Amino acid sequence: MGVRINMRWLMVSSILLIFLSSVSGAGGVNEQMSLEGTSIVSMDYEDYAHASKTFEIEIVLDSQASENGTKVIWVTQICINSGVCYPPENNEEWISEDGGKLIGSIDVDDDASYVNWRVKMNWSDGGEENFPESGFGWKVWSNCWFDGEKWGGMDDECNSEKDEHGGSLYLHLASFVSVIVVLVMFLLRKNNSQRK
């Protein structure tokens, strides 16, 4: 009975691995949450986070937030092409301009895949609010990204040669794991039949 349960688990696992190896992540699709219900009137930024360069955003606050000493923290997270995401960082240094405009910037890694962020508002009365409440509300992909299966972006450097090497490495690894799982299933089945 235990062997049958293990074999079912292994079969489900192998199907999931094969499925995951064939499904592409939503690479290259930027995300942004609605500003409705926030004290942010507008948020402007580039469509791409350029590797090895500065990424900048401009936030315009409504008059109430800009006039009452509300502190704005830009919480960013940079993820790189190997699939690793660095811990979120609080960015509190802003260039202030008239009209409640704040300009912030971060340095983007040379191997960046995308940048996530959210905004934290520390109100003058001591209250605090995150937009969104959890996770990240914005994502901007780099000009040269790898989503685990394919390369993309606006640069000519993200060409088919990179796509072949990067994508095939990932697919070979997934295929190798799938073969190991199937082999283990075969050996367990053979062992089970010999006991009978």
Could you confirm whether domain 31-145 is CATH 3.30.70.2740?
no
37 C-beta neighbours (distance < 10 Å), count:
7
3 state SS of 81: coil
Give the separation between CA 188 and CA 3, rounded to whole angstroms: 7
Instruction: Please tell me whether the overall predicted TM-score, pTM, comes out greater than 0.85 for this model.
Output: no
- Confidence check: pLDDT of 50 > 60: yes
Segment 97-115 mean pLDDT: 91
183 C-beta neighbours (distance < 10 Å), count:
10
3-state per-residue secondary structure call for 131-195: ECCCCCCEEEEECEEECCCCEEECCCCCCHHHHHHHHHHHHHHHHHHHHHHHHHHHHHHHHHHHH
User: Domain coordinates of the chain in residue numbers?
Assistant: 2-25+158-195, 31-145
Instruction: Name the nearest CA neighbour of 65 among 120, 132, 136.
Output: 120
pLDDT at 102: 95
Give the separation between CA 53 and CA 43, rounded to whole angstroms: 20
How is residue 130 written in tokens?
């995150």
38-49, pLDDT tens digit by residue? 999 999 999 999
Cα end-to-end distance, the chain, whole Å: 12
pLDDT at 176: 54
pLDDT at 103: 96
3 state SS of 5: helix
pLDDT at 142: 94
